[in-house]
Chains A and B, each alone.
Chain A
Amino acid sequence: MTQTADIVIVGAGAAGLAFAWAAVAPNIKVVVLEAGGHVNQRVAPSLASDWELALQTTFNANPNLRRGVADYPVDDSESVIRPAIFNAVGGSTIRWGAHFPRLRPSDFRKRTLDGVAADWPVSYKDLEPFYDLNDEIMGVSGLAGDPGNPPRATRSCPPLPLCPATRRLAAAYDRLGWHWWPSDAAILSRARGTRGACNNCGPCGVGCPRHARASADIAYLGVAQAQGVELRPGAVVTKLERLGHDITDVHYVDANGPARLSCGEVVMAGNALGNARLLTGIIDNPLFGCGLMLHPTAIVTGLFKQNQQSWRGAFASALVSQEFYESDESRGFIGGLQLQALRGQGPLTTALGGYGLRLPWGQRHKEDFVARFGHSLSLTVTCDDLPEGANRIALHATQTDRHGLPVPRMIYRVGENSQKMLDYGIKRASEALREAGARQIAINPLVRNGGFHLMGTARMGVDDQAGVTDARGRVHGMNNLSVVDASTFVTAAAVNPTPTLQAIALRAGTAMRDGKITQRAIA
């Protein structure tokens, strides 16, 4: 029997589930296919004392090392940055710090303002209502009034508190006259419904048993299913069947064997790597796969004489400085950067190096451990990467995964502009940490395991010369194929992409629900 759906969404991560929630209606059948399974965060590793071991195994961000049942290999031999993605219901929001910043209006107008890259075919104003809607659904703690960003609606929860180390940093920024603001975080500081309030435990990245930290499954899946969305976990999509300018069927494999869905619309939300495995040969636009942007990131760590107990509190969501966010020609590069505070880590992760170098073995080890553990505060230097043609996602010519799908290749080097930005940001971060009282500075000039934001390989554009998709993710030249994840980004900005990719997904899903569907499944 041929199964049918009006809309088939490939990928149940941040974008896929937001899109599903927005697109479903009583007369629109939406099916989400997800290669991974559910992750029960109520029994997260942070309930056990050896929780840090999970960061090396089941919660390892690198799929090549994690090797879970839903993971496929990624050839990263031609990339200085390794992939950091999670394949499960909820996607990479299972494994994230829930730092939740928005792009600025200028990020959408890079060509007009700075003469590089391209302008987006959507503006901040176009996305603003969807940012607000998404914030409400995900549950965001923060504070309106940030002078670094346009005015925005009151956050649903007050900001997460600073700790001794981040208070030092905030005071340092004030002395330097630099911008700072408490992070918008998709972490509840007050309980809501079945979700508890954050209890400041720290290791958000291994899941949150209180459900205070949002993930796409916690925030969107239940409400989407209540409206009729059907989720099929453990369903690995193996092929899109194309007839002319239409995708007619989606083939997948699950525990019951091979299956096929006849579809009205296909929406890809499997990230740039996953999408490439299915769309190469379907999308013939030469821009597809090119212009990969990754947010090359440096981490600067300050060590303080006094124990700051910096293991307390959400590790990635405290405060940011966007003092150097907008372009300034005098700095010698285009675009800008964000400095994001990262708290200290657990004892094992500290010994293994945390954000920098592993502690030496031998007789110095214990002394170094006591000097560092709880004494550190780090700053990321997150760069507004530019799209460069040589940076791309391609497919391996011969290697395949266990389903016969080609292994994606991640091809990336840090461009000259981004390197200048990193160098500048490292100096500024070091300056801030010294001003905060750090007696020693350690620099990780490039986070090798930092391929968590995969952007630009199916970028939006007004037509097929400017982009792979239109402003709502519809693939130019195809009647019923869309892409709605971060691969549609035109520019990278210098902030985490999740709020923006979810806003884009909500906008596209709403448009499809409200009459943009051109086809329906063939019964």
Chain B
Amino acid sequence: MTRRHHRRVFWVLVVVLAALHVDFFNHGVSPPPIFGWLPVDLAYHMVWVIAAAALVLYFTQYVWRDSDGS
């Protein structure tokens, strides 16, 4: 894939993750906690942060060039 493709993939994933951050489907409901103690809402956002961190690694590797523009 070229850098242009990587950039497109990155921005699409940014939009998808931003949309998934607004987890209104979790609001106002109280499902049983995961493992009996971890609230689903909290677990959801912890997983979201891990996905975001993975995306940041991808973008610093394939999208952001080591160029100072000169």
Q: Say whether A associates with B.
A: no
B residues at A contact (CB < 8 Å) = none
